[in-house]
């Protein structure tokens, strides 16, 4: 099956009336593979370096126990926690967008004033505290 637009794929999918047809659709249509979890994605940046983990916990400002639950994959962080970690790790914009996807959170959107400030903070490798100060300057919600 040729690569189709999302609209065409949705139309085909809506006309499928049995599991065999669904199976054929899934086998013959290119799909994005499921993403790794946020914990797995984060681990890929930290490896087994306990000092890096401890430093990241401190620089992200996330409570220690909760942070280690995130690393273990037993807690699913919200968007703000993911952004805190990404900023603290000095991730690129692309890496941050991928982290948000892995965490099942909305990616940053440049037309949103709050997200624009976060994008600026990432681009300029600000600390979490400096990013929050900048958000506060524009009377926007700080990263909790």
pLDDT at 41 over 50: yes
Confidence (pLDDT) at 84: 98
Q: What is the pLDDT of residues 73-106, one digit of tens each?
A: 999 999 999 999 999 999 999 999 999 999 999 9
- Asked if 84 and 122 touch (Cβ cutoff 8 Å), the reply is no
- Is residue 29 exposed (0-12), middle (13-18) or buried (19+ Cβ within 10 Å)? middle
**CA 107 to CA 25: how far, in whole Å?**
28
**CA 89 to CA 55: how far, in whole Å?**
10
Average pLDDT over residues 12-32: 81
- Asked if 46 and 99 touch (Cβ cutoff 8 Å), the reply is no
- Asked if 89 and 56 touch (Cβ cutoff 8 Å), the reply is yes
Residue predicted with more confidence, 2 or 95: 95
Q: What is the pLDDT of residues 42-68, one digit of tens each?
A: 998 887 788 889 999 999 999 999 999
Radius of gyration, CA atoms only, the chain:
19
**CA 57 to CA 55: how far, in whole Å?**
5
């Amino acid at each position: 099956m040729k690569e189709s637009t999302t609209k065409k794929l949705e139309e085909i999918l809506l006309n499928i009336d049995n599991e065999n047809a669904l199976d054929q659709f899934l086998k013959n249509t290119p799909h994005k593979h499921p993403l790794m979890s946020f914990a797995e994605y984060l681990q890929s940046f930290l490896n087994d370096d306990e000092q890096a983990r401890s430093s990241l916990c401190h620089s992200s400002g996330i409570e220690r126990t909760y942070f280690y639950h995130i690393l273990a994959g037993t807690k699913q962080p919200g968007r703000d926690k993911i952004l805190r970690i990404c900023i603290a790790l000095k991730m690129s914009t692309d890496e941050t967008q991928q982290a948000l996807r892995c965490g099942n959170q909305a990616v940053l959107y440049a037309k949103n004033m709050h997200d624009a400030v976060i994008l600026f903070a990432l681009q300029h490798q600000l600390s979490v505290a400096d990013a929050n100060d900048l958000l506060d300057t524009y009377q926007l919600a700080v990263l909790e």
